[in-house]
C-alpha cells in the first residue's frame, strides 16, 4: 500500500539535544512538507521541498533543519535552538508542487522535550 510513514510515533528528548524525525513516502510524489501542530491549533508550515536536493523555509523554520537527498525521504531535525519543540509533527506530500491543495499526511510524531 502506498503512503507516508513517520517514525517514531512518540519521541521523548531532553532539552539541549537535537532530534531527527523520519518521513518516508512511496507515493512517488515530488513535493514534501513538514508541519507543526500545537494543541487546538492549525498546522503551521516548517519546511517544504518541491524536488530532490531543494527545500525552502516555511513560516516557522527557525530551530529546524531538513534534507532531501532522496525523493522518498524528507527527514526533519529539531535542533536545540528551537525554543519550544514539544508539539505534534506532521509530514505530508503532494504529487506535484502545483497540487499542494491535496496533500497526503503521515500519522505524525508526537515529540516531548523536557
Partner 1 sequence: GQSLEQPSEVTAVEGAIVQINCTYQTSGFYGLSWYQQHDGGAPTFLSYNALDGLEETGRFSSFLSRSDSYGYLLLQELQMKDSASYFCAVRVRTGANNLFFGTGTRLTVIP
Q: Which residues bind partner 1 (CB under 8 A)?
A: 35, 40-45, 48, 50, 56, 58-59, 90, 92, 97-108
Min separation Cβ 85 and partner 1, Å: 19
Residue closer to partner 1 by CB (options 85, 108) is 108
Min separation Cβ 16 and partner 1, Å: 28
Residue closer to partner 1 by CB (options 52, 80) is 52
In this structure, what are the phi and psi dihedrals at residue 98, rounded to the nearest 5 degrees?
Answer: -70, -10
Bridging pattern class, strands 87-94 and 109-113: antiparallel
**58 close to 48: Cβ distance less than 8 angstroms:** yes
Min separation Cβ 79 and partner 1, Å: 23
**29 close to 104: Cβ distance less than 8 angstroms:** yes
Min separation Cβ 49 and partner 1, Å: 10
Amino acid at each position: 500500500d502506498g503512503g507516508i510513514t513517520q517514525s517514531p510515533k512518540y519521541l521523548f528528548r531532553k532539552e539541549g539535544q537535537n532530534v531527527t524525525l523520519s518521513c518516508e513516502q512511496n507515493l512517488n510524489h515530488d513535493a514534501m512538507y513538514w508541519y507543526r501542530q500545537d494543541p487546538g491549533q492549525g498546522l503551521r508550515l516548517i519546511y517544504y521541498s518541491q524536488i530532490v536536493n531543494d527545500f525552502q523555509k516555511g513560516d516557522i523554520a527557525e530551530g529546524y533543519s531538513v534534507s532531501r537527498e532522496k525523493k522518498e525521504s524528507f527527514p526533519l531535525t529539531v535542533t536545540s535552538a528551537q525554543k519550544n519543540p514539544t508539539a505534534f509533527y506532521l509530514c505530508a506530500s503532494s504529487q506535484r508542487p502545483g497540487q499542494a491543495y491535496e496533500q497526503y499526511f503521515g500519522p505524525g510524531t508526537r515529540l516531548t522535550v523536557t
